[in-house]
Amino acid sequence: MRTIKYAVAASLLATAPLAAAQQLSIATGGTGGVYYPIGGGFAEMINDHIEGADATAEVTGASVENMGLIMRGDADLALALADTVYQAYNGTGDFEERQIENTRALASVYPNAVQLVTLADSDIESLADLEGKRVSVGAPGSGTELNARALLESNGMSYDDFNPQRLNFNETADAIRDGDIDAGFWSVGPPTSSILNLAATRDIRLIGFSDEEIANAQEDEPVFAPYELAAGMYDGMDEAVQTIGIPNVLVVNSDMDEELAYQLTKLLFEQTDELIAVHPAANDTTIEFTMESTPVPLHPGAIRYFEEVEADIPDRLRP
């Protein structure tokens, strides 16, 4: 991802303390994915740099559950996939009965890649080969399941075609390792620890998607984009694998204090190196990526920061 350098208006050391002590909960995902280390890393940054704030990363079922936590005010910040955020904000898909109009974004943090993994000696070579197999589609209430279902249905498949298992990332890796399932989906920033650990103990293969399969998925979910998993990302992965990517969005409730939202956004983009040290997915945490990829309006506090650094904010991101 090409990074545009913006002028920084002021140092973080000049940030004013919050008017009152803030206990902040960051909704993430399971411990085997990227949300949890990214959320935990950002919590540490908040505690180190924002006076009066005390942040904690919470283990959750990821995207779909996280949007509900934001709606109810049970979490202050949350990581969620762009398609989930878009559906929640507009009241479509899984959110037809519970539109979450109070969703606002601070940033798009990094892209997920949909990764379909099987053992190297499996006869699964494509999406169509999942027919009749035991397949993990992700934890209930996760963005992985939403992405897997969208990819499958857009290519003429449904859960009726195979035996679906709703397992989290670590459970999926364990089940593939033990031969309890034949394949599993991950929608997560690569590389992810659970696949790395699986590849260290068993020979694995990642299943690529054809141009036609990707185009079909994009037609149904415009937030999908072609994404290439680099050769060597996991042990035994000798060639690049073509898949799809989806942005991950850092969201808050529209009721968040503007000064707090400003300081959080400023911290994220002015101390990004600290987040990269936690997980390499944060290399894509750039202002340019946020402006290109965010599917819902920004919080006024975030807009204040982006205006301060003279970013070109699209009209669609202004509430």
Domain boundaries, the chain: 12-111+249-317, 112-246
pLDDT score for 150:
93
pLDDT score for 142:
85
Same topology for domains 12-111+249-317 and 112-246, yes or no?
Answer: yes
CA distance 317 to 153: 30
pLDDT score for 19:
58
pLDDT in tens, the chain (319 residues): 334 434 344 444 445 566 566 899 999 998 888 899 999 999 999 999 999 999 999 999 889 999 999 999 999 999 998 989 999 999 998 899 899 999 999 999 999 899 999 999 999 999 999 999 999 999 987 889 989 999 999 999 999 999 999 999 999 999 999 999 999 999 988 888 999 999 999 999 999 999 999 999 989 888 888 888 989 999 999 999 999 989 999 999 999 999 999 999 999 999 999 999 999 899 989 999 999 889 999 999 999 999 999 999 999 999 8
8 A C-beta contact, residue 1 and residue 288: yes
CA distance 132 to 164: 10
The closest of 33, 96, 41, 90 to 63, measured between CA atoms, is 33
For residue 37, the one-letter residue type is P
Residues 6+ positions from 290 with CB-CB distance below 8 Å: 105, 107, 108, 306
CA distance 265 to 146: 28
pLDDT score for 7:
39
The full DSSP string for 153-215 is HHTT--GGGSEEE---HHHHHHHHHHTS-SEEEEEESSS-HHHHHHHHHS-EEEPP--HHHHH
CA distance 287 to 265: 10
Residues 6+ positions from 276 with CB-CB distance below 8 Å: 282, 283, 285
- The pTM score is 0.76
pLDDT score for 319:
86
Q: Which CATH class is domain 112-246?
A: alpha beta
The closest of 258, 270, 253 to 45, measured between CA atoms, is 270
Query: Could you tell me where the DSSP H helices lie in the chain?
Result: 35-49, 63-72, 82-90, 143-154, 169-178, 193-201, 211-220, 258-270, 272-278, 287-293, 300-308
Tokens of 299: 């919080």
CA distance 64 to 59: 13
CA distance 154 to 158: 9
pLDDT score for 32:
82
Hey, which CATH number is domain 12-111+249-317, 3.40.190.10, 3.30.479.30, 3.40.50.150, 3.90.550.10? 3.40.190.10
Q: Residue 16 is inside which H or E element, if any?
A: none
pLDDT score for 8:
42
pLDDT per residue as tens digits for the range 193-203 = 999 999 999 99
Q: Is the peptide bond before 140 cis (omega within 30 degrees of 0)?
A: no
pLDDT score for 15:
57
